[in-house]
């Protein structure tokens, strides 16, 4: 195990159902393998049902709810995608507040695929350059973002990627941002 993130705590913020499993597990593994401490944060206690596209996949145990999560307890947050995940998450006021407070703190926030919908809801994309799953580009541009079609985009403390194929670059950017 690499120790470059030793002592760094990363909140993975997801809805209780609909997160794209690989977009949760690959960055989680990258953080853990670099010595970081990942935590699963969701609106409701209990479990998170992950998906492999439209098919149910594994279930994961929630560590802390969005209502109880303290942004100051974490060094970074990761927002995995999946279509249903960020759509549900942006309806949770505690999750949106948590994300907004975190982005405004200046610490790293990484969002992949459909996850930037939560950033739109948190009103933190105006004037930022980022990417996402292509179908979100109009939403992001309407919220004031400069949307680009690139594998990974880093603008200040925001790290974004388009899709599961981008996970190697996304995971590298997450670890590098925390190791800096």
Which three-class secondary structure state does DSSP give residue 138? helix
- Is 113 annotated as catalytic? yes
Looking at the DSSP assignment, which residues form a beta bridge with residue 40? 12
- Read off the tokens for 35: 């010595």
Looking at the DSSP assignment, which residues form a beta bridge with residue 11? 39, 77
Which of 39, 44, 104 lies closest to 74 in space, CA to CA?
A: 39
Q: Which of 113, 152, 173, 175 is catalytic?
A: 113
Q: Under a CB-based contact definition with an 8 Å cutoff, are residues 117 and 167 in contact?
A: no
Q: Which of 8, 114, 128, 163 is catalytic?
A: 114
- Is 171 annotated as catalytic? no
Phi, psi (degrees; rounded to nearest 5) at 150: -135, 155
Residues with active-site annotation? 113-114
């Amino acid at each position: 195990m690499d120790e470059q993130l030793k002592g760094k705590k990363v909140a993975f913020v997801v809805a209780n159902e609909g997160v794209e499993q690989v977009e949760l597990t690959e960055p989680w593994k990258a953080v853990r393998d670099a010595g970081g401490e990942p935590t699963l944060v969701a609106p409701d206690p209990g479990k998170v049902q992950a998906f492999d596209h439209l098919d149910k996949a594994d279930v994961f145990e929630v560590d802390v709810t969005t209502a109880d999560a303290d942004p100051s307890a974490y060094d970074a947050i990761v927002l995995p995608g999946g279509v249903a995940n960020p759509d549900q998450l942006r309806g949770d006021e505690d999750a949106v507040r948590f994300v907004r407070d975190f982005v405004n703190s200046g610490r790293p926030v990484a969002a992949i695929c459909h996850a930037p919908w939560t950033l739109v809801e948190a009103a933190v994309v105006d004037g930022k350059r980022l990417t996402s799953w292509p179908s979100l580009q109009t939403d992001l541009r309407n919220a004031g973002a400069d949307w680009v079609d690139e594998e990974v985009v880093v603008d200040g403390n925001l790290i974004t990627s388009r899709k599961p194929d981008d996970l190697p670059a996304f995971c590298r950017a997450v670890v590098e941002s925390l190791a800096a």
